[in-house]
Amino acid sequence: MAEKNLINQTAIVTGANSGIGEGVAIALGEAGANVIVNYVSNADAANEVVNKIKSFGSTAIAIWADVSKEDQVISMFQQTVEQFATVDILVNNAGLQRDAKFHEMTLAQWQLVIDVNLTGQFLCAREAIREFLRRGIVPERSVACGKIICMSSVHEIIPWSGHANYATSKGGIKMLMQSMAQEYGREKIRVNSICPGAIKTPINKSAWETPEAYNSLMTLIPYDRIGVPEDIGKLAVFLASDDSDYITGASIFIDGGMTVFEGFATGG
Ligand code: NAD
């Protein structure tokens, strides 16, 4: 059984009704946290995640909000504080792709990805930090005043042809995360990024759904398997807990070695 090291802490996980967000929400719930399962579409999937978390004896509710809309993000935090008195952990996970060759990319494709992946993280983190500062440290729950985990990507450092909007959003998250960690370290607010490589979720189905695609993907991954949301869930629990108390401003790569550049294994 998982260690219950997040008992009495309240976590908001954005985009928690699918893929990595779902895996993270379930892992935080299993570690004892009250979990807000944010979703923007497919309420049924969000309710399934809520029920799974409740099966561990933890509390969970689903809250609808588009993370790129300021009023909806503010409302999500207000509903959370009304129900659970505060927020201790934010996992900024919601994200999407709208891929196109750069010279064919529309402004709408560019803007949507920046709005959701980057501005959405700004809006949620700002509300979280406002609430952390209002509440202050509660030593019975955590030595930190609050924890923010930004879902970045290996593409915060690996350029990605055909995905300039996505890679730019993740590069932006790196600076957003580090600037927040720098600005609020003295208030004991910890801010870190998880940088996944290839994780088996709907966002990258075309990269793993056929044997040909999977084998091609494996040429990029020394550890020779695709990641699963549970891999990310375990890291999120660690980063949300006091076990990682001296870690802030860090990008933690969880990628089966993708960022050691397998292409150079035979000399480049
Ligand atoms: P996914 O498509 O399964 O999940 C994305 C989630 O974000 C969904 O729940 C979706 O509804 C939600 N979402 C999209 N727009 C939203 C909005 N405006 N407001 C609220 N929620 C919104 O994909 P995933 O792979 O689980 O992706 C989760 C995060 O992980 C993303 O930030 C993605 O960039 C990142 N990531 C994924 C991989 C991977 O290999 N799967 C690798 C690196 C980073």
Q: Which atom of ligand 1 is nearest to the CA of 229?
A: 26
CB atoms within 10 A of CB 140: 7
Question: 134-155: per-residue pLDDT in tens?
Answer: 999 999 999 999 999 999 999 9
User: Is the CB of residue 163 less than 8 Å from the CB of residue 155?
Assistant: yes
Q: Which atom of ligand 1 is nearest to the CA of 16?
A: 9
As annotated, the active-site residues are 166
The amino acid at 229: P
Work out the average pLDDT over 25-45: 98
User: Is the CB of residue 176 less than 8 Å from the CB of residue 125?
Assistant: yes
Residue linked to tokens 């503010």? 74
Q: What is d(CA 58, CA 51) in angstroms, rounded to the nearest whole number?
A: 10
Cβ of 96 closer than 6 Å to ligand 1, yes or no, is yes
pTM here is 0.98
pLDDT score for 265: 85
Model confidence at 268: pLDDT above 80: no
96 CA distance to ligand 1 centroid (A)?
A: 5
Query: Which residues have a Cβ under 8 Å from the Cβ of 232 and sit 6 or more positions away?
Result: 20, 23, 24, 194, 196, 199, 254
Question: 65-114: per-residue pLDDT in tens?
Answer: 999 999 999 999 999 999 999 999 999 999 999 999 999 999 999 999 99
Cβ of 17 closer than 6 Å to ligand 1, yes or no, is yes
Q: How confident is the model at residue 262 (pLDDT cuts 50, 70, 90)?
A: confident
Cβ of 19 closer than 6 Å to ligand 1, yes or no, is yes
Q: Which atom of ligand 1 is nearest to the CA of 227?
A: 40
Question: 188-212: per-residue pLDDT in tens?
Answer: 999 999 999 999 999 999 999 999 9
pLDDT score for 264: 85
Q: How confident is the model at residue 248 (pLDDT cuts 50, 70, 90)?
A: very high
DSSP bridge partners of 10: 34
Report the chain's mean pLDDT, rounded to a whole number.
97
Query: Which residues have a Cβ under 8 Å from the Cβ of 56 and sit 6 or more positions away?
Result: 29, 30, 32
Q: What is d(CA 14, CA 6) in angstroms, rounded to the nearest whole number?
A: 18
What is the CATH number assigned to the segment(s) 10-201+227-253?
3.40.50.720
Cβ of 199 closer than 6 Å to ligand 1, yes or no, is yes
pLDDT score for 263: 84
Which one of 12, 13, 18 would you pick to mutate in the ligand 1 pocket, going by the greatest count of ligand atoms within 8 A of its CB? 18
205 CA distance to ligand 1 centroid (A)?
A: 12
Model confidence at 49: pLDDT above 90: yes
For β-strands 34-39 and 60-64, DSSP reports them as parallel
Cβ of 198 closer than 6 Å to ligand 1, yes or no, is yes
Cβ of 32 closer than 6 Å to ligand 1, yes or no, is no
User: Is the CB of residue 119 less than 8 Å from the CB of residue 127?
Assistant: no
pLDDT score for 2: 72
Give me the residue spans of the domains in the chain.
Answer: 10-201+227-253
175 CA distance to ligand 1 centroid (A)?
A: 20
Nearest CA to 248 out of 192, 194, 193, 195 is that of: 192
